[in-house]
A and B are shown apart, each in its own frame.
Chain A
Amino acid sequence: MLELTSLTKVYKTGDKALNDVSFTVPKGQIVGLIGPSGAGKSTLIRCINRLVEPTSGSIKLGGRELTRLSSGELRAQRRRIGMIFQEFALVERLTVMENVLSGRLGYVSFWQSLTRRFPPADIQRAYRLLDRVGLMSHADKRADALSGGQRQRVGIARALAQEPELLLVDEPTASLDPKTSRQIMRLLVEICAEDGLPAIVNIHDVPLAQQFMQRIIGLQSGRVVFDGPPEALTTEALTTIYGAEDWNAMKNDAAEDVAAEADAVRRMAAISA
């Protein structure tokens, strides 16, 4: 369980990126974090694993306070939190396997990692995860040889290799096409459900959030302005989060995406038949 209490982040420039943010994420819940650009979504999830230093407030994961840690303790706590990035952030020149094993860096010594001699259990886990995300045959390819969707699968496997208690997911589909986006979201949701893993997903695609998330939190200028199930995300709620806009047009666009996807599947089936 993750508990945020009065989390505030003020950047050196004086920008208040987060303003008194408090919420709790119970085990197994997938939370979609939506909001306009600059609302503080990215800052919020980076505060949780302390890639960004929060100014005040408290973050507790499973009862353990994550702010005010020594650097050694911080390392140990970061292992408990897996992170998945918008542009995959794989180490491009390393192989897929090395990227997945890099999820174990917090558990092994410097020499073990330098010589790539990971414990057998770690290697077995890495293969299992690659199989889970459907990339078993790509283990020894270099990460930059993969497509966007495949790279994001490696990103997911790397995060899971940490055996995390929480997943932080930063715009997982922003660099992907609509179809691959849905496949990646489906995979994420399945994995979280299998392991009872809570997740916070930054997502700017509202229909995608409504389709896959169990709970939506809306941020606006660093404040929580909406917190509820996807069904409660009405036109009024969206206007509070994003400002006035024609939301129905956006929903129609999403419906078109789904229709186009179904159409593409039909045509592919027709070709292969």
Chain B
Amino acid sequence: MTDFPDHWQHRTPRVRLAIWFGWLCLVALFVWCWELMTARTIWSFVWDAPTQAADIGSRMFPPRWTYVENLLVPLWDTLNMATLGTILGVILAVPIAFLAARNTSPFPLVTRPVALFIIVASRSINSLIWALLLVAVLGPGLLAGILAIALRSIGFIGKLLYEAIEETDIRQVEAITATGASGSQVLTYAIVPQVLPAFWGITVFRWDINIRESSILGLVGAGGLGLNLQASISTLAWPQVTMIMIVILATVVLSEWVSAKVRQAII
């Protein structure tokens, strides 16, 4: 019988040293950042913070319940902005996703990079920034808000959808191709049914996010609840600010509930 070694190591000494060194660098970076942060903080403000917070807090309560009447129209605007923005975003994102997915892109060398660039460009700019730009171009109002939401949604929906398209089962595609189906028939019979649950999940999820985002777009003049929020903060009407926050919270909880229900229903 041969002698088998009784000793086995998961990593080589070199790899262990490298991992140890990596951790050392990370700790050093953290210490350095901490130093930098504390050096530039005005500590008297920080020590004062609890008093300040308590002061604003006391002014924020109780919320001004009667202010709700003034919020109903902006709330409706916010919901519309989120919903219309999502719909427009979906309409634009679907073709881009099919152009970006490796298995459906008609001319991968040309169409993929273009589609991926659109997705990245849309994702890299926050909707607040999109709104800022669009308000400057289109003037303040809901249209700027809707377009800002749509432009930001393209990247989000496009990316998640094209990943779902790339993960489809190739055997189902092969089977439909083998019947003599055309390219567009393969798309509608083999690929669409497979990505449909992902599509609805992504859309509802994005709608849910868009409700949150559209409630602050008014800060830069794009309409909705954010407009009231900005007005209330600048006039130091803190009880109104509390009321707006309560309305936003209630809306987000509701949209969360709706999107959870929809996702349950489709899976």
Q: Which residues of A contact B (CB under 8 A)?
A: 49, 51, 75-79, 81, 83, 85, 87, 89-94, 98, 102-107, 110, 113-114, 155, 158, 162
Contacts and interface: CB of A to CB of B under 8 A. Distances in A.
Interface in B184-220: 184-185, 188-190, 193-194, 196-197
Given A89-B172, A110-B182, A113-B185, A51 B190 contact: no
Contact of B174 (A89, A104, A158): A89
Nearest to B193: A93
Contacts of B189: 91, 94, 98, 102, 105, 113
A148 to B, nearest CB: 15
A103 B176 CA distance: 8
Interface string B156-194: 000000000000010110111111111011001110011
A40 to B, nearest CB: 18
A174 to B, nearest CB: 13
B259 to A, nearest CB: 21
Nearest to B194: A93
A87 to B, nearest CB: 6
Contacts of A106: 179-181
Given A51-B177, A105-B180, A162-B179, 4 more contacts: A79-B180, A91-B194, A92-B193, A104-B179
Most chain A Cβ neighbours within 10 Å, of B175, B178, B182, B196: B178
Nearest to A74: B180
Contacts of A107: 180
B6 to A, nearest CB: 37
A155 B172 CA distance: 11
A204 B221 CA distance: 70
B80 to A, nearest CB: 31
Given A91-B193, A94-B189, A113-B189, A105 B172 contact: no
Nearest to A104: B179
| The 7 nearest A-B residue pairs measured at CB | A106-B180, A89-B175, A105-B181, A78-B180, A79-B180, A89-B171, A93-B193
Interface residues of B, number: 21
Contacts of B194: 91-93
Contact of A85 (B171, B185, B190): B171
A94 B180 contact: no
Contacts of A114: 188
Most chain B Cβ neighbours within 10 Å, of A76, A85, A102: A102
Contacts of B185: 105, 110, 113
19 contacts: A76-B180, A78-B177, A78-B178, A79-B180, A83-B178, A85-B174, A90-B172, A90-B175, A91-B176, A91-B194, A92-B194, A93-B196, A102-B179, A105-B176, A105-B181, A113-B189, A158-B179, A162-B179, A162-B180
A105 to B, nearest CB: 4
B171 A103 contact: no
A75 B194 CA distance: 23
Contacts of B182: 75, 105, 110
Contacts of A162: 179-180
A88 to B, nearest CB: 8
A85 B179 contact: no
Contacts of B181: 75, 102, 105-106, 113
A81 B178 contact: yes
A75 B178 contact: no
A78 B189 CA distance: 17
Contacts of B177: 51, 78
A107 B178 CA distance: 13
Most chain A Cβ neighbours within 10 Å, of B169, B171, B185: B185
A87 B174 CA distance: 12
Contact of B172 (A92, A110, A113): A92
Contacts of B197: 93
A92 to B, nearest CB: 7
Contacts of A83: 175, 178-179
Contacts of A94: 189, 193
A162 B178 CA distance: 10
A49 B175 CA distance: 11
A113 B185 CA distance: 7
Given A85-B175, A93-B194, A113 B188 contact: yes
B201 to A, nearest CB: 14
Nearest to A113: B185
A44 to B, nearest CB: 15
A158 B181 CA distance: 13
A105 B176 CA distance: 8
A76 B184 CA distance: 15
